[in-house]
Structure 1
Amino acid sequence: MEKKTTSAIPAGQGAQTFEWAHDWVGDYFQRGFVVDQSDNLGVTLDSFTSAAAEAIQFEGNIVGLPHAAETVTLIYNTDMVDEAPKTVADMVSMMKEHHDPSNGTYGLSYPFDPYYTSAWLQAFGGYYFDPDKEQMLGVNKKQTVRGLEFALENFKPYMPNDPKYEPQAAAFAAGNAAFAINGPWYLATLNEKGVNYEVTSLPSPDGGTVKPYTGITMWYFTKAMEESGADTAAARSFIEWYVTNEDHLLTLAKDQGVIPVLSSLVGSDELPSEVQTFSQTVKQGVPMPTHPKMNKVWPGMETALISAFNGDSTAKAALDQAAKTIRSNWE
């Protein structure tokens, strides 16, 4: 999506809108890929949660409309696990019981990338990037390093060997893992595969507090929206329907685990229990920054986590290298 939008939009070949999480807001606005449409809205921002309304703006410019919240939380296979673990220590003992790679079973199915692991890297006072701090980049602060060491020590031993999304997600979806840490988008796959599961809160780490990154999925207004005509009118009509139609949003919640941010649906008893659980985890989390520099944080962190997971470097060395790469990309 990033490659397509950054090539097509400036060439005048992009669509009027596209769907993505809110972390591109600042970067794409500064680069002229998305535009303010505050004067053309048929929807008021108080229709959405305050977090969602804030996420779609950059320096007062409204560059899209939100339709869902997202984060990752713990999912367990009820054919293997009787009850949810309260602490990471409890979870480790349960993972040990079911981890048997020689027979194709694992304790945990967990994509090891910056978004998914943020709960632990930020659990002990660490952070990736915070524009409000004097030291904006925090990827190699000792607290962040401690979080990565914690994740490697407690989770890596019980996971498939490949840290990428597809092989990790496949293990739980095939009924071959006791636990998964994944997002609401994963539930449709589990339902299709017939996995018996429950969604629960992330367990507590000793001496820390889980702080996963949270995102707001939104429909962006690209610069093509500045043009008048039938396509622009259709795009605006579609977006406004998509983000405000309660029946549609409830269907997404029930079929795909989507977490609504429309104020009239937040906390509704009509939402499935798993969606309500994801909503609780969203409240625990930290919104991804919309600052333009944030978009350059992800690639360096992804390389660092894979390196540390594969044992090619220590957690500290990997994150020190990530910091160098990110600063170089900023320059």
Structure 2
Amino acid sequence: MTMDRRTLLKNLGVAGGIGALAGCVGVQEQGETDSSGGDSNGGGSSGGSGNESGSDSTESSGPAGTAKAWYALSDTELPTREENIEAFNNESKHTIEGADISDMRKKTTSAIPAGQGPKTFEWAHDLAGDYLDRGFIVGRGDSLNVNLDQFTGTAAEAAQFDGNVVGLPHTAETVALVYNTDIVDEAPETVADMQSVMDEFHDPGNNKYGMGMPFADPYFLSAWAHAFGGYYFDSSKEDMLGVDNQETIRGIQFAVDNFVPYMPNDPAYEPQASAFAEGNAAFAINGPWYLNTLNEKGVNYEVVKLPKPEGGEPRPYTGITLWYFSKSMENDDAGTAAAQEFIEWYVTNEDIQQQAAEETGSIPVLKSVAEGGDLPANVQGFSNAVAQGYPMPADPMMNQVWDPVKAALTKGFNGQSVEQAMKTAAEEIRSNWE
């Protein structure tokens, strides 16, 4: 479940809309094609002015190297990436050969063991445990010229698994509160504030709803499942599975009691997202990939962090995009030097992160940009929501958690006992683990 969901969110990017949920969006099959061409006037063209690592790409020791870098981007993101790579190649003795790859998981799991994969690839952090266990990625914490303190705490945490720094982070994603400014006068600070608006606006007989939120997806519900001390999964705890503990059940029950009465009667993504996108809901809880749809629909909206429930704090799951250290980077050859220099240059380049925020709504994780006060308002709203949450588990055991919890959430949405549904999910998960 998790990789399907993460593939969906990654491929949606900022170009994804409601109708795109049936498949990948804007990802072009280019195989091993070099995509490092294009103008050099993109976000990286100002050179390393944003690079705080202290390394000078033009004066690094050792022979020049060439490295493959794989990524899967939307049509709107790809030109800027190509410009960034060309900018690096122009100012470094090294060369990065970029390739836009479809079906990243399938390609990496087949190519890397065969020694034909990239030196680095870009993907969400939650496959780190599985890939490290299978030897597809390596830790390079001892060789870095970049301090993880340069990144937000959530991003620094996501770059590590089992004591290894397996990549370096550059963007984040999570869900936040989106409100229609034609309906809502000001951003609510609490769920009670939301309810006062929803009570007034909600009129399902006339196709008006208080809010839209994909209730059946554990990712979207995570903020509330965690709001009172609950958790789905935490490998640091003696009881790693928290699906059926009372704090988690309390959080899900809170969402059932306080949100479901104001939502369309189908918990799936499309009907929930459509309600707000068509101007028929006061609030939505969704991610940055949703904004392009709202812009196309002409909805007037603002994005803010999630409101507080009484007696709790919303803690949404966050996804962090990493440049991973692929298996071949365990060899300290010229290609590895090229890949590491590129990764460090890219993730510490303030211009790249600022441009991505302004042009594609990307959420930066470099502290100097994330906390600099110059982000577009809606990106700042998502950035504030990222600060509320924590990274999704990267442990492979989490793969068995998503589907049973999804089934339990659907039951709760449809009026069945939340406690019983979550206990049933926990039994299934533990059985699958065995």
Q: Into which bin does the TM-score normalised by the smaller protein fall?
A: 0.7 to 0.9
Q: Which amino acid aligns with 2:414?
A: N
Query: Counterpart in 1 of 2:109?
Result: 10
Query: What is the aligned partner in structure 2 of residue 319 from structure 1?
Result: 422
Percent same amino acid at aligned positions?
Answer: 61
1:116 equivalent among 215, 220, 224: 220
Matched, 1:173 2:277: yes
Q: Please state whether the residue corresponding to 1:69 is helix, strand or coil.
A: strand
Tell me whether 102-111 or 75-84 shows the greater mean CA deviation: 102-111
Q: Is contact 2:140–2:325 with CA below 8 Å preserved after alignment?
A: yes
Match of 2:390 among 286, 295, 299: 286
> Aligned match of 1:72 in 163, 175, 178?
175
8 Å Cα contact 2:328/2:336 also seen in 1: yes
Comparing 20-29 with 5-14, which one deviates more in the overlay? 5-14
* Corresponding residue of 1:22: 125
Distance 1:235 1:177, change over 3 A: farther
Secondary structure of residue in 2 paired with 1:215: strand
Distance (whole Å) between structure 2 residues aligned to residue 220 and residue 283 of structure 1? 23
Alignment partners' CA distance in 2, 1:36 and 1:27: 14
Q: C-alpha separation between the residues in 2 aligned to 1:75 and 1:34?
A: 37
Establish whether residue 139 from structure 1 lines up as the match of residue 238 from structure 2. no
Distance 1:164 1:221 in 2: 36
Which residue of structure 1 lines up, in the alignment, with residue 354 of structure 2? 250
Residue 179 (structure 1) shift: 0.3
**2:186 corresponding residue in structure 1:** 83
1: CA distance, partners of 2:368 / 2:186: 32
1:160 equivalent in alignment to 2:161: no
Which of 298, 310, 313 in structure 2 is aligned with 1:209? 313
Q: 1:60 aligns with which of 153, 163, 166?
A: 163
In the other structure, the counterpart of 2:80 is: none
Say whether the 8 Å CA contact 1:184–1:256 is kept in structure 2: no
Instruction: Report if aligned partners of 2:154, 2:387 keep a CA contact under 8 Å in 1.
Output: no
Structure 1, unaligned stretches of length 5 or more? none
Aligned mates of 2:414, 2:173 — CA distance in 1: 28
TM-score (norm 2): 0.68
The structure-2 alpha-carbon separation of the partners of 1:51 and 1:319, relative to structure 1 and needing over 3 Å to count, comes to same
Aligned mates of 2:397, 2:154 — CA distance in 1: 20
Aligned partner of residue 110 in structure 2, secondary structure: coil
Is the Cα–Cα contact under 8 Å of residues 318 and 391 in structure 2 kept in the other structure? yes
C-alpha distance in 1, partners of 2:239/2:221? 21
8 Å contact kept, 1:188–1:255: no
User: How far 1:226 moved relative to its partner?
Assistant: 5.8
Secondary structure of the structure 2 residue equivalent to 1:11: helix
Change (3 A) 1:189 1:241: farther
TM-score (norm. length: structure 1): 0.87
Change (3 A) 1:15 1:172: farther
Alignment equivalent of 1:265, drawn from 361, 366, 369: 369
Of residues 138, 145, 149 in structure 1, which corresponds to 2:253? Answer: 149
**Contact persistence 2:315–2:388 (CA under 8 A):** yes
CA distance in 1, matches of 2:388, 2:108: 35
CA distance in 1, matches of 2:172, 2:387: 10
Q: Say whether the 8 Å CA contact 1:188–1:256 is kept in structure 2.
A: no
User: Is the contact made by 1:77 and 1:175 (CA closer than 8 Å) also made in structure 2?
Assistant: yes
Does residue 1:304 correspond to 2:418, yes or no? Answer: no
2:428 and 2:131 map into 1 onto residues whose CA distance is 21
C-alpha separation between the residues in 2 aligned to 1:245 and 1:47? 11
Provide the alpha-carbon RMSD of the alignment.
Answer: 2.8
SS in 2 for 1:124: coil
SS at match of 1:8: helix
Q: Using the TM superposition, name which of 65-74 and 221-230 deviates more.
A: 221-230
Which residue number in structure 1 is paired with residue 76 of structure 2? none
Structure with larger Rg: 2
Output the CA distance in 2 between the equivalents of 1:128 and 1:236.
Answer: 34
Larger RCO of the pair (alpha carbons < 8 Å, separation 6+): 1
2:233 to 123, 129, 135: 129
1:59-107 alpha-carbon deviations (Å, 9 max, x no partner): 2322222112332221110011112223222212311322233333221
Are the counterparts in 1 of residues 167 and 323 from structure 2 also a CA contact under 8 Å? yes
Structure 2 SS opposite 1:283? helix
Residue pair 2:408, 2:422 contacting (<8 A) in 1 also: yes
Equivalent residue, structure 1, for 2:207: 104
Count matched residues. Answer: 330
Unmatched 5+ residue regions in structure 2?
5-102
Does the C-alpha gap of structure 1 residues 124 and 47 become closer, same or farther in structure 2, counting only changes over 3 Å? closer
